[in-house]
Amino acid sequence: MSRSGFVSVVGRPNVGKSTLVNALVGGKVAITSPRPQTTRNTIRGVLTLPERDTQIVFVDTPGLHKPRTALGARLNRLVEGSIAEADAVLFVLDATQKIGPGDRRIAERLRRAATPVVVAVNKVDAASKAEIAEHLAEAGEWDFAAYVPTSAVRRTGLEPLVDELVALLPEGPFYFPPDMRSDQPDQLLAAEIIREKYLVRLRDELPHSLAVVVDEMEERPNGTLYVAATIYVERDSQKGMVIGKGGRLISVVGREAREELEFIFGTSVYLDLRVKVEKDWQRREALLDRLGF
């Protein structure tokens, strides 16, 4: 009998959840950036192990944090839902930062759940042996199913991590075709790639004020993929920042996004970007619906 199940990937913002999911499934399904709160949706990445007749569906989630806006509250509820539906939880810690109240709150939440938990102590490439040992000892007191040191960027510790997770999965048929890596529609992935390029280039609070929606995506007769997207900001003053002096920033971001989209879709891409102001969209429930949250 085959094995298959959902593994919800949770943790504080910026600990490397999305980088880890990408490394585990062997391709980019979720965007990553040095800014906290990069992920805003649950994103499924599928790892099929034919030789073990096993399929793991990783569910990347937004980092859990104290919500300050309607968007923040929605994101936390999303994570709760993902934990409730999971067969196992992958709880990610950042070895380069001390275990803090945010990690402890999540640990307490997970201890109350019936779902088994595997802890990844991630970013070990950037931490000292002493820091890693301290994490393993301190987190060990939570008494979860297993603890595995990992580096998502160097791709170390992934095999032991997969072994621990496979052991927790129930028997059952695969949820997705074996060659499928993500169930994310192309439109959403394209919007995320554009947002990622901005996250990497913008400073301060502005990244959180951005939302990207792909309005149109269509293959032209000459084979070029036409992608039209709108970048939403919250205030008039932010519009200029997103466009940049003389349109410089939007053209650089546009080029970087286009190049990655061409790589992902294997075709030439024409990217049409526009910027719109939607006052305080992060705080307005109706707008959150329209922007796809």
Ligand X SMILES: Nc1nc2c(ncn2[C@@H]2O[C@H](COP(=O)(O)OP(=O)(O)OP(=O)(O)O)[C@@H](O)[C@H]2O)c(=O)[nH]1
> Judged by CB, which is closer to Mg ion: 91, or 243?
91
> Judged by CB, which is closer to ligand X: 54, or 151?
151
Question: For residues 93 and 14, what is the distance between their CA atoms, to the nearest angstrom?
Answer: 10
Token code pair at residue 172: 């059952």
Task: Give me the phi and psi of 203, to 5 degrees please.
Answer: -105, 170
Quote the least distance from Cβ 120 to ligand X, whole Å.
9
Of 16-24, 128-136, 139-147, 197-205: span binding Mg ion (CB under 5 A): 16-24
125 binds, among Mg ion, ligand X, none (CB under 5 to 8 A by kind): ligand X
β-partners of residue 11 are: none
Q: Are 117 and 110 in contact (CB under 8 A)?
A: yes
Q: Is residue 150 within the footprint of Mg ion (CB under 5 A)?
A: no
Strand extents, DSSP E, 100-192:
117-122, 146-149
Q: Is residue 19 within the footprint of Mg ion (CB under 5 A)?
A: no
Quick check: helix, strand or coil at residue 4? strand
Interface with Mg ion (CB under 5 A), residue from 5, 6, 10, 18: 18
> Judged by CB, which is closer to ligand X: 154, or 279?
154
Token code pair at residue 79: 């994570």
Question: For residues 277 and 239, what is the distance between their CA atoms, to the nearest angstrom?
Answer: 7
CB atoms closer than 10 angstroms to residue 293: 17
Quote the least distance from Cβ 212 to ligand X, whole Å.
15
- Compute the half-sphere exposure of residue 270: CA atoms within 13 Å on the CB side of its CA: 10
152 binds, among Mg ion, ligand X, none (CB under 5 to 8 A by kind): ligand X
Interface with ligand X (CB under 6 A), residue from 4, 6, 8, 16: 16
28 binds, among ligand X, Mg ion, none (CB under 5 to 8 A by kind): none
> Judged by CB, which is closer to ligand X: 16, or 45?
16
Q: Is residue 39 within the footprint of Mg ion (CB under 5 A)?
A: yes
Interface with ligand X (CB under 6 A), residue from 15, 110, 121, 193: 15
Token code pair at residue 29: 């399904």
Q: Are 127 and 85 in contact (CB under 8 A)?
A: no
Quick check: helix, strand or coil at residue 293? coil
Structure-token match 């990069």, residue found: 38
Q: Are 118 and 88 in contact (CB under 8 A)?
A: yes
> Judged by CB, which is closer to Mg ion: 4, or 22?
22
Residue ranges in 114-133 that form contacts with ligand X under rule CB under 6 A: 122-123, 125-126
Q: Which residues bind ligand X (CB under 6 A)?
A: 11, 13-19, 32-34, 36-39, 62-63, 122-123, 125-126, 151-153
Q: Which residues bind Mg ion (CB under 5 A)?
A: 17-18, 38-39
